[in-house]
A = this chain, B = another copy of it.
């Protein structure tokens, strides 16, 4: 990937998140602090990068999509905050730092997650592009809320909870991941396409790309839980095996999982053919996600 280009995008996303997160208007800033702590925790920013680049690739100005990109990252962050809570995965560490509830307490972490989710929709509804093209903003809100909602990301968490302590077949694991992580990754590409005013062919190509990298992403997660370095990952490894969870590695074997992730990455890149040479950023992103170590 053109590292300079990625770095510039990441700087824009991080600066915009800092600027766009709400400032507390009363004298107990703990939840606003917890929101910043969670969002600025050093994520890979894959989802906002996908929004901006999908927008550009479809002929839009990426700057137009910055609020939507940040809103999506806020929703991703909220899901991690709530997922780490004691009643969910009960994780003390997130990216090598204390998870939100370890840092701020459980009640404030719950509220910080709620606030990130709520403010994400405020951000889109008041964005400059929403004033200029309100229909597009409504479509973006509909896409994002559906992807994050009861039949999207939350549905994936329900299947995950309901599968605890059970061996599940591959089709079930794929259904879970398509909702749990796939839905927001697909929404990222769709949101960028909507804001750019993309046609059906471009949108379909981006959705197909997103579905492939979404699944590859989850397979690599499972592989890293076996072969990764805890220090680099910022969390302990081996937890899937310890919890006897069905994963792509347990179902396909380590080599089978690696081959599957590679094939999906190649498929993802092939789906970008409609964009010609202009899709290099997304091609390289797919390759980088396959090779990632954290």
Q: Give the B-binding residues of A (Cβ under 8 A).
A: 22, 24-26, 28, 30-32, 35, 78, 82, 85-88, 106-108, 110-111, 113-115, 117-119, 121-122, 124-126, 130, 134-135, 137-139, 141-142, 145-146, 148-151, 154-155, 157-159, 161-162, 175, 179
Q: Which of these, B118, B124, B137, B154, contacts A150 with CB under 8 Å?
A: B118
Chain B residues within 8 Å of A119, by CB: 145, 149-150
18 example contacts (A-B, Cβ-Cβ < 8 A) are as follows A24-B151, A25-B151, A26-B155, A28-B158, A78-B114, A85-B87, A86-B87, A87-B110, A88-B110, A111-B161, A115-B150, A118-B148, A118-B150, A118-B154, A121-B141, A125-B141, A138-B138, A141-B141
Contact (A158, B114) CB under 8 Å given A122-B149, A141-B121 = no
Separation in Å of the A124 CB from the closest CB of chain B?
A: 8
Instruction: Find A161's partner among B35, B78, B107, B126 (CB 8 Å cutoff).
Output: B107
Report the bound CA distance from A175 to B172 in whole Å: 49
